[in-house]
């Protein structure tokens, strides 16, 4: 079955034939990626000491107005490759010592990814990390069962109004809840090796936005009440104002230390223990790579 002919891979359910036109994600049925390298800036249990073998895909099904990776999510930066090449990239990253294969914004290329993992069967022996925005179809996630070991997913908004304003997705909260249920169902519990590197499980990231502490608290409360210690929560303070935010003046500043500390204290008071937090100074260009095709193109290309 060609899932790109009447594409409903993500909750946008555009239904377009991506061999002829592009849907919300901005991508055709041709696989595109912008960079593949050993990434040292993920959570400690993902990057470890050798780095996470990270593949950044072109396009996005969410389109947040504050996106830090706008050049690839909506700007079109990236290089066309086939499934065989993607599988080779996985193996090359493994050969470089990657702790895992980390697929960033993968949803709209889910079928390519499944075929690439199939291509590496018997050769790839490190976990697959599905690094997504949380706006996922349960049907697509079920297709990925057995292919993904770790879900590194966002939970961006609890408020439909905020989700509508920043991502044109008022259904984000209900979609993200259903998707997360499926992710936890597939992984069951978090497992780590003797060095503290995650082998299986779910990490839910929440990027704190300026002036939205109350929404952040509601997300953390929901995650803790529903999943307890079955997941890890990563509370991030690295928001950086980028792009054209003239219509969103509240997003033109960074998150203050007071705002972030208030949210961390709230999580601690709830009893959240399985958590990652960020110290001051994490807002840096280190989080925004250059999209130069590193690791994607063969040398002869």
Residue 224 reports pLDDT greater than 90: yes
Query: Does residue 3 surpass a pLDDT of 50?
Result: yes
pLDDT tens-digit readout, 151-196? 999 999 999 999 999 999 999 999 999 999 999 999 989 999 999 9
Looking at the DSSP bridge assignments, the partners of residue 36 are 55
Mean pLDDT of 286-298: 79
pLDDT tens digits, 114-139: 999 999 999 999 999 999 999 999 99
User: Domain segments of the chain: what residues?
Assistant: 32-287
Is the pLDDT assigned to residue 70 strictly greater than 90?
Answer: no
Bigger pLDDT: 108 vs 1: 108
Cβ atoms of residues 274 and 220 within 8 Å: no
Would the pLDDT of 23 be above 50? yes
Asked if residue 12 has pLDDT above 80, the reply is yes
The pLDDT of residue 280: 61
Is the model's pLDDT at 284 over the cut of 60?
no
More confident residue, 282 or 3: 3
Fold (topology level) of 32-287 = TIM Barrel (3.20.20)
| 56 backbone φψ class: left, alpha, beta (φ>0; ψ -120 to 50) | beta
Mean pLDDT of 37-46: 96
DSSP annotation string for 232-264: EEEEE------S--TT-GGGSSPPPHHHHHHHH
Asked whether the predicted pLDDT for residue 28 surpasses 60, the reply is yes
Please report where in the chains the tokens 């990236």 appear, as a residue.
Answer: 78
Per the prediction, the chain carries an average pLDDT of: 94
CA 1 to chain centre: 26
pTM for the predicted model, two decimal places: 0.95
* pLDDT score of 290: 80
């Amino acid at each position: 079955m060609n899932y790109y002919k009447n594409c409903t891979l993500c909750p946008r359910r555009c239904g377009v034939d991506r061999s002829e036109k592009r849907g919300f994600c901005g991508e055709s049925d041709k696989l595109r990626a912008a960079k593949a390298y050993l990434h040292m800036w993920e959570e400690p249990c993902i990057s470890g000491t050798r780095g996470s073998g990270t593949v950044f895909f072109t396009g996005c099904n969410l389109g947040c107005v504050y996106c830090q990776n706008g050049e690839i999510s909506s700007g079109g930066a990236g290089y066309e490759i086939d499934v065989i090449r993607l599988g080779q990239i996985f193996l090359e990253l493994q050969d470089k010592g990657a702790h895992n294969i980390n697929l960033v914004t993968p949803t709209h290329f889910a079928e390519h990814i499944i075929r690439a993992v199939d291509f590496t069967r018997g050769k790839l022996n490190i976990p697959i990390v599905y690094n997504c925005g949380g706006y996922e179809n349960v049907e697509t996630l079920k297709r990925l069962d057995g292919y993904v070991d770790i879900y590194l997913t966002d939970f961006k908004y609890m408020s439909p109004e905020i989700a509508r304003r920043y991502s044109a997705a008022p259904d984000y909260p209900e979609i993200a809840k259903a998707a997360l249920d499926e992710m936890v169902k597939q992984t069951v519990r978090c497992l780590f090796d003797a060095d503290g590197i995650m082998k299986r499980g779910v990490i839910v990231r929440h990027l704190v936005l300026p002036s939205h502490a109350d929404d952040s608290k509601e997300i953390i409360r929901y995650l803790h009440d529903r999943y307890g210690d079955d997941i890890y929560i990563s509370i991030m303070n690295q928001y950086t104002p980028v792009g054209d935010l003239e219509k969103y003046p509240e997003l033109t500043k960074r998150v203050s230390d007071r705002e972030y500390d208030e949210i961390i204290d709230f999580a601690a008071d709830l009893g959240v223990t399985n958590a990652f937090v960020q110290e001051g100074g994490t807002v840096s260009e280190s989080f925004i790579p250059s999209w130069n095709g590193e690791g994607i193109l063969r040398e002869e290309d």
